[in-house]
Amino acid sequence: MKGHLDVKQLESYNKADLQELAKQLGVDAEGTKKEIAARCAAVEVDIPDDSELTEEDKKVAAEAAAEAAAKAEEEKAAAEAAAKAEEEKAAAEAAAKAEEEKAAAEAAAKAEEEKAAAEAVAKAEEEKKAAGLVKVKAKRRFLDKELNQIKDTGDIYTVSRERAAVLEEAGVAVVMTE
């Protein structure tokens, strides 16, 4: 009959005996008593027939079998939990993909709106030209009191022809030719 040695019983051995047993079982004899005992307990060993076993040996074998069954149950539960986690991950990825598609659609709609706004600005610029507006370029930094804005050197903006004349006369801006 095959079985496993009891980890707790092995841990009660002194380290030298445990190392000797590890060598006999063909496992690594280096490390702490707990590590060596775990390696020894993992090895499947021949257990004599029940008729040859003492009561203590039978008890140890039963405990070892119970531990092996408990370990198998834990591994099964862990595998089920991993499968469930994988399913949840897949569901989350599907939800994220749907959210990305929605965001892409919203971005496309926003791009259309921005394009329409840009076209409206271009149209407004043309209407300003037709209404007698001109572009001026700031020659130096100044406060445009009419717009209540500070204009930096090199800023280009649109004003009426009358305002352009005032700015040019003050020496702060120059009318740009188109």
pLDDT at 52: 60
pTM over 0.75: no
Distance CA(117)–CA(124), nearest Å, equals 10
Question: Residue 155's pLDDT is what?
Answer: 93
- pLDDT means per 10 residues in the chain (178 residues)? 81 89 88 89 73 71 79 85 90 90 91 90 74 88 90 91 91 87
132-178: CATH topology is Ribosomal Protein L9; domain 1 (3.40.5)
pLDDT tens-digit readout, 107-132: 989 999 999 988 988 887 777 666 67
Dist CA 7 CA 60 (whole Å): 10
pLDDT of residue 50: 54
Other beta carbons within 10 angstroms of residue 62's beta carbon come to 12
pLDDT at 110: 92
pLDDT at site 4: 79
User: How far does CA 70 lie from the centroid of its chain?
Assistant: 35
Question: Domain limits of the chain?
Answer: 2-80, 132-178
